[in-house]
Structure 1
Amino acid sequence: MVAVNKNYSEVAFKLYPKKNDKVIQYGTAGFRANAEDLDHIVFRMGFLAVLRSKKKNSSFIGLMITASHNPEEDNGVKLIDPYGEMLDQSWEAIATKLANADDSSLDSIINEIAVNENINVELPASVYIGEDTRPSSKRLAKAAYDGVIESGGSCTDYGIITTPMLHYLVKSRNTDEEYGKCSSNGYLEKLSNAFKTIRKDVYSHKNYLSELYFDGANGVGSIIMKEFLPFLGNTISVKIYNDKHNEVGQLNHNCGADFVKVQQKAPEGIPHVPNARCVSVDGDADRIVYYFTDENGTFHLLDGDRIATLIAGYLMELIKDTGLNFNLGLVQTAYANGSSTNYISNSLKIPVACVPTGVKHLHHKATEFDIGVYFEANGHGTVIFSDRVKEIIKKESTNTSLDAKKLAAVKYLRALIDLINETVGDAISDMLLVETVLHAKGWNIQDWKATYYDLPNRQLKVTVKDRNVVKTKDAERYCVSPPGVQDAIDKTVKKYANGRSFIRPSGTEDVVRVYAEASTQEDADKLAAEVVDIVRCLAGGI
């Protein structure tokens, strides 16, 4: 089978030649690197998006330009499959081979993909492009657009949007808008209508007060949140900070979800109001964490673990009220705080599964439940409802023979399904979901914090010569290579009460990540530092 355009090598060399021999891998979040190294890679991903569209019988494919929580000088690109899911893992190796190939070999590689994947290259292809607010994003979006057009596809560039919005748009278009209207306003309307239906314009309830401080990470989240507020009406008051998305060097700098999670302190740019409920999103608004600072100036973080337990616990209560038999489960990674896992298993009695870090792993596992809740500790997560659940809920919502309590619960659950962006972690959707649950329970942020107490923890990273020398198993909780590393970690952990630590190679940076827990923050910090020394000594740290 022969590709439509036989001059990929010539076109690539002319428009976006390969500038360096740096090897790059398609990982959990696609390709990420310094923006100056990405032009030829993004252009080639335009080729790949067209091939993927043809492979999926002319379905629309998404192509997002973002580096999420990375520094502003970085950027990245990732593909989105037809139903809003991440690119199929079998194509990650294909993407990696295409990205690293010499210009002269592109023709043969593209034709090889077409043959091996049995692609009908005569089919039309369509691609949606989105981008974050980085100075390099517009240039790279143009490279992606050129790649799509040069390989015979059609392309729509949605400009600056959040990553979850592009996931939503792709799924909406491929489901003939069954998932929602295929437009930016359609996204805002779907979420806001569901939120207002549930809230019924009630501003406060018991200890809950609808006032929120929003850290936009100086990125697209602040832009979309400003557009969103008129749709929400008077249901919630959101004060937006860190919205200087046009200032170079500001994106994710001392602000945003990753900064708050890793540094465990409030971002710059948000005023200190004791016990005020605050949220931070990341650069492309697919992560969210909550936090507050009490009257004594002590910082309190409510991360993805907290969000997951809040949502899962409430869904469990709601399912019981419906009287329906649904299998609810929660998916975590090794980064989940040990206290959260104990709380979910022992107090909420909800099944917990642990998988390797990366949304693709959590998302896949969550589909094994009727209702699957998944969140990484960094605040990236969502809820997935099976088709069976949706069909039953839709049918039961019109069942007038149900008693009033059950019928109300069913209708409430149906509205929640519309409020949740099932395709991927979505900071804005997740924020509205958390606010819905807190409002329903009548909780303020201190009430939420009091459900259980986190073990103190610390995350660090170590620059290494080659992160790939570190190999793990058991959902990344056990290091199998280099030899001796896990034994050294185990010996060190035993020195600390409630100690736990693991290492893993980063999927987005050339570093090894270290996580540690212990009974006190001092011990957690000491344990993390000792494990960093182990990595430097035994895993080639520099």
Structure 2
Amino acid sequence: MALFGTDGVRGLANGPLTADLALTLAQATAVVLGQGRIAEARRAAGKRLTAVIGRDPRISGHFLSAAVEAGLASSGVDVLDAGTLPTPATAFLIGDIDADFGVMISASHNPAPDNGIKIFARGGVKLPDVVEQRIEEAMSGPKLQPTGGAVGRVIRFADAEDRYVIHLLASLPHRLDGLHVVVDCAHGAASGVSPETFRNAGAKVTVIGADPDGININEGVGSTHLRGLAAEVVRVGADIGIAHDGDADRCLAVDADGNVIDGDQIMAILAVSMKQRGVLREDTLVATVMSNLGLHRAMAEHGIRVETTAVGDRYVLERMNEGGFSLGGEQSGHVIMSRFATTGDGVLTGLHLCAEMARTGKSLAELASVMTVFPQVLVNVRGVERARAEDADVQDAVARASAALGLGGRVLLRPSGTEPMIRVMVEATTQDEAERIAGELAEVVRG
């Protein structure tokens, strides 16, 4: 079974994800990412390679980051320990200081017992599949074992947070003066940096979910639990609520009435704004197959083309890089603004969403009305192999449902990449119709 998933190595800390594995993975990373023209030139000049390490506040991050630091330093890599910071902050810092690579210890929106190791290449970009495969193979091969003064140092990255905050503030097209924002930090990596940045941008800030204790990350708060944020926005009379996940690479929002604004709606708002300001490259937005039909229609009405990818922010980013596009993301709130970030950045996204409110003087509800959200129903049919989606009776049922929906909806069957399951997604003009057709298709898939 492959060690790397769609977003690094992830699993139960001290279960499959042990300190030994983290140390060996770090040693193998030093071997593979220590190759290449730039790395060889640095060594020829008598310099050691440099890596940035960040983590979210879950308790297992302490021993895992220590193991990664040990693996890198024992391989002759100098480590800059940035402490607790969002994943996009770690990615940014790698490029900002011209480090050779970096590592983020986080399991994102997963519960506290889980953790993960995400590896970024030079420039703060995610690794291609082929490089991840080389690292996995190198784990069973020889390690770098320098001695004496050639071993690496572990150094505290003292101004890591300040660099990131300055970068975020410099990206803003408009200050946030006059806005009241509730920020839900999911008891995660953004608990310090996100409220600080929103305040520095001029907003009045109310904070929830910003008391991490190592085990409460994502627990009833953050982008996967929006009810508390919605209630707080209404209670304090705020203009907008911003929700992050544990490592703050996501952003979802709620408007002044507590209505959820998802990633598709956020992308629609940002895309229209960026086109108006002449900064939406090729007038194109990159989204996944799961994005709502309403997003496609709204973009067409504003002369914006939508490029569609498989589910996963890495595939969105790959297409953005291939086409030189400036905006992309997922319904879940992973939004990538390539002018300022190499990965999804929930703090950056929230700031720019608020900046558009301040720039236009419109409420979030008014801005979100650019897109009509089609009712969307997702049914997970478990215990079914992926090949079932290609069977003739299933394909016939999908064709009939698609014909019945016409231009008023769509059908998508998507096999899971990790378990025997097929996801049936239906969008329609009414919730009842979407639920009925999804139920009927799910029964056909079950066979």
TM-score between the two structures when normalised by the length of structure 1: 0.63
Deviation, structure 1 residue 423: 1.1
Distance 1:449 1:312, change over 3 A: closer
Distance 1:305 1:437, change over 3 A: same
- Which runs of 5 or more residues in structure 1 are unaligned? 1-22, 61-118, 205-209, 386-420, 472-478
In structure 2, the partner of 1:34 is 12
Asked if structure 1 preserves the Cα contact closer than 8 Å seen for 2:377 and 2:426, the reply is yes
Secondary structure at the aligned position of 2:434 is classed as helix
Deviation, structure 1 residue 229: 4.8
Q: Which amino acid aligns with 1:240?
A: V
**Equivalent residue in structure 2 for 1:183, among 143, 147, 160:** 160
Q: Which amino acid aligns with 2:165?
A: L
- In the alignment, structure 1 residue 318 sits paired with structure 2 residue 292: no
Distance 1:353 1:227, change over 3 A: same
In structure 2, the partner of 1:252 is 218
Deviation, structure 1 residue 226: 3.6
In structure 1, the partner of 2:184 is 215
Secondary structure at the aligned position of 2:6 is classed as coil
Asked if structure 2 preserves the Cα contact closer than 8 Å seen for 1:189 and 1:231, the reply is no
**Equivalent residue in structure 2 for 1:360, among 292, 305, 314:** 314
- In the alignment, structure 1 residue 48 sits paired with structure 2 residue 28: yes
Asked if structure 2 preserves the Cα contact closer than 8 Å seen for 1:58 and 1:124, the reply is no
Secondary structure at the aligned position of 1:164 is classed as helix
Secondary structure at the aligned position of 2:190 is classed as helix
In structure 2, the partner of 1:132 is 56
1:168-179 matches, cutoff 5 A: 168-174=92-98
- Which runs of 5 or more residues in structure 2 are unaligned? 101-122, 125-156
- In the alignment, structure 1 residue 335 sits paired with structure 2 residue 290: yes
Deviation, structure 1 residue 329: 1.3
**Cα distance in structure 2, aligned partners of 1:59 and 1:531:** 53
Asked if structure 2 preserves the Cα contact closer than 8 Å seen for 1:458 and 1:516, the reply is yes
- In the alignment, structure 1 residue 242 sits paired with structure 2 residue 209: yes
Secondary structure at the aligned position of 2:232 is classed as coil
**Cα distance in structure 2, aligned partners of 1:525 and 1:255:** 28
**Equivalent residue in structure 1 for 2:255, among 270, 284, 292:** 292
Asked if structure 2 preserves the Cα contact closer than 8 Å seen for 1:27 and 1:507, the reply is no
1:74-473 matches, cutoff 5 A: 124-174=48-98, 183-195=160-172, 198-199=173-174, 203-204=177-178, 210-229=179-198, 231-232=200-201, 235-246=202-213, 248=215, 250-260=216-226, 270=232, 272-273=234-235, 276-292=239-255, 294=257, 300-319=259-278, 327-345=282-300, 347-369=301-323, 371-385=325-339, 421-464=340-383, 469-470=385-386
Q: Which amino acid aligns with 1:172?
A: D
**Cα distance in structure 1, aligned partners of 2:403 and 2:225:** 30
**Cα distance in structure 2, aligned partners of 1:219 and 1:328:** 34
**Cα distance in structure 1, aligned partners of 2:161 and 2:33:** 22
Q: Which amino acid aligns with 1:365?
A: R
Q: Which amino acid aligns with 1:132?
A: D
Deviation, structure 1 residue 310: 1.4
Asked if structure 2 preserves the Cα contact closer than 8 Å seen for 1:384 and 1:422, the reply is yes
Asked if structure 2 preserves the Cα contact closer than 8 Å seen for 1:457 and 1:521, the reply is yes
**Cα distance in structure 1, aligned partners of 2:365 and 2:230:** 22
Deviation, structure 1 residue 166: 0.5
RMSD of equivalent CA atoms: 3.5
Distance 1:49 1:450, change over 3 A: same
Deviation, structure 1 residue 427: 0.6
Distance 1:450 1:529, change over 3 A: same
Q: Which amino acid aligns with 2:427?
A: E
Asked if structure 1 preserves the Cα contact closer than 8 Å seen for 2:230 and 2:254, the reply is no
In structure 2, the partner of 1:14 is none
Asked if structure 2 preserves the Cα contact closer than 8 Å seen for 1:383 and 1:422, the reply is yes
**Cα distance in structure 2, aligned partners of 1:332 and 1:531:** 25
Distance 1:384 1:271, change over 3 A: closer
Between Structure 1 and Structure 2, how many residues are aligned? 385
Distance 1:351 1:277, change over 3 A: same
Offset from partner CA, 1:150-177 (integer Å, 9 cap, x none):
333332222211000010011112289x
Distance 1:360 1:275, change over 3 A: same
Offset from partner CA, 1:61-94 (integer Å, 9 cap, x none):
xxxxxxxxxxxxxxxxxxxxxxxxxxxxxxxxxx
Offset from partner CA, 1:3-60 (integer Å, 9 cap, x none):
xxxxxxxxxxxxxxxxxxxx34423211222222111432232023212331244659
Offset from partner CA, 1:125-174 (integer Å, 9 cap, x none):
33222111222222221222222233333322222110000100111122
**Cα distance in structure 2, aligned partners of 1:302 and 1:517:** 18
